[in-house]
Amino acid sequence: MLPHLDAAFNYACWLTKSSAEAEDVVQEACVRAMRFLSSLRDDNARAWLFAIVRNTWYSRVSRRANMPEVTPLDPARDERPDVALDPEEQLLQQHTVALVRAALEQLPADFREVIVLREFEGLSYKEIAAVVRVPVGTVMSRLARARERLMAVLKLATPTETLR
Amino acid sequence: MSCEHIERDLDSYLDRELDAATAMDVRGHLSECAACRRWVAEREALGRLVRTAPYYAAPDRLRARVLAQTTRSRSARRSLAWAAAAMLVVSVGAGGINLWRSAITRSDTIAADVVDSHVRSLMANHLFDVQSTDQHTVKPWFLGKLDFSPPVVDLASLGFPLVGGRLDYISGRPVAALVYQRQRHTINVFVSPAMNDVFPQTNVRSLRGFFIRRWVHDGMAFWAVSDLNEAELIQLCEALEAP
């Protein structure tokens, strides 16, 4: 599972919206993954690990009566501005990235995760369906509705040339 | 074909989830419908925009904790099956997947080797011997290190920039490894002279969460491996096959 640790952590961050929480979830998920290693189908270890991360998170949530305050994601990380751009463009780019992040964080969790699994990890509908444990048709409708929402939010907030 | 008929397929079309015949219908419709073309362009722009969002890489302390845990639980459990399974996890980067190999064919062995090399290159932080986006730097670098000259092309224009190359070994033979990037995904393309004996056909398979594609072109055998999705990996491979 080490080769897929980045992917698992990224997914957990978007799921939990907290990097501290995500670390705990991924660590616990890896312990679980080892316990269930015999059930691993070698053709898709990555999707299998996503499924365990997801189960781990939801069982943690249900264990707690009320959720503690979460430390928000650290926006400074992984948002290195592109040095090839001039300062004004850099600012615009940072602004755009912040808008996109906010738009994603505002999505309901079940919409956000299908977007993350599809757009960042390139999972197929079938793989997403297996991770999220819903029929493929539900994956398609969630993706479509999530995109509609993002479209609505970002179109309002973004200069039109970015969307053209 | 009408717009409302096609509309429910457009997302699947962009996500490359349609079968060939339906995809062709959609392309046909798009060629004559400006409204749907605009819709598709907007969706593509949205995809590009969404992918600018941060990708949170696992912090080193988490990696260390998970590694420590893997080792600990191995010594804690005595069962033979468990030890074998845990070893599999620990040694996945060290090329030791003998367990997997026992019952599989030669082609599978090479595929497992390819995935091993790919994982090792990412884990050991040894992705390049020569780091350059210039094919005219990367290609000559292999001269004198290999007894063949691998074709090196930059595919930045297609969204797969070449980032470097290195010398690697697959099944005990030296091969050229070309490294391409797609967003946050790394693609290793291994090249060696084609041996006429094994598996002539092109195919895509998946192993341990990675997609692998193998093909032969101009007397060279290619293996491409990545955690990229299947469709995009095929796109890269096709570009390499027909430069």
Domain span at residue B39 reads 3-50
With beta carbons under 8 A apart, name residues in chain B contacting A125: 12, 15, 17
Q: Are A122 and B228 spatial neighbours (Cβ–Cβ below 8 Å)?
A: yes
CA distance A161 to A129: 34
Same domain, B71 and B121: no
Give the helix, strand, coil percentages of chain A, each rounded to 5.
75, 0, 25
Rounded CA separation B112/B103 (Å): 12
The answer to the question of residue A16 being in a domain is yes
> Model pTM?
0.57
Domain containing residue A110:
87-163
Q: Is residue A79 part of a domain?
A: no
Same domain for B108 and B203: yes
B61 contacts in chain A (CB < 8 Å): 23
Q: State whether B201 and B107 are in the same domain.
A: yes
The last residue of one of the domains, among B40, B65, B93, is B93
DSSP for residue B143: B
* CA distance, residue A66 to nearest chain B CA (Å): 26
User: Are A49 and A95 part of one and the same domain?
Assistant: no
For a pLDDT cut of 70, what percent of chain B falls above it?
79
Q: Do B227 and A46 lie within an 8 Å CB cutoff?
A: yes
* Option in B15, B122, B230 nearest A3 (CB): B122
Question: Are B233 and B144 part of one and the same domain?
Answer: yes
Please report the residues numbered 92 through 121 in chain A whose beta carbons come closer than 8 angstroms to any beta carbon of chain B. Answer: 93, 96-97, 100-101, 104, 115, 118-121
Residues 36-75 of A with CB under 8 A from B: 37-38, 42-49, 73, 75
Whether B112 and B70 share a structural domain: no
Number of domains in chain A: 2
The answer to whether residue A82 sits within a structural domain is no
Residue B88 and residue B111 share a domain: no
Q: Is there a single domain that holds both residue B192 and residue B118?
A: yes
**Of the candidates A47, A63, A79, which is a domain's last residue?**
A63
Tell me the pLDDT of chain B (243 aa) as tens digits.
Answer: 678 878 888 999 999 899 988 999 999 999 999 999 999 999 999 998 898 888 888 888 888 888 887 666 555 544 445 445 544 455 444 443 443 333 345 566 777 788 888 888 887 667 778 877 788 888 888 887 888 888 888 888 888 989 888 888 887 778 899 999 888 889 999 998 876 545 545 667 777 788 888 888 888 888 899 988 888 888 888 888 875
CA distance B12 to chain A (A): 8
Q: Are residues A91 and A58 in the same domain?
A: no
d(CA B189, CA B194): 14
Strands (E) located in A50-103: none
In a domain, A45, yes or no: yes
Q: Is residue A107 part of a domain?
A: yes
The confidence score (pLDDT) of residue B71 equals 65
Residue B98 maps to a domain: no
Same-domain status, B197 and B224: yes
Position A49 pLDDT exceeds 50: yes
Total tally of structural domains belonging to chain B: 3
**Predicted-assembly ipTM surpassing the 0.90 threshold:** no
Does residue A91 share a domain with residue A59? Answer: no
Of A6, A73, A115, the CB nearest to B50: A115
Dihedral pair phi/psi, residue A109, rounded to 5°? -55, -40
Query: What's residue B239's pLDDT?
Result: 86
pLDDT at A116 over 90: yes
Q: Report which secondary-structure segment, H or E, holds B150.
A: none
Same domain, A56 and A109: no
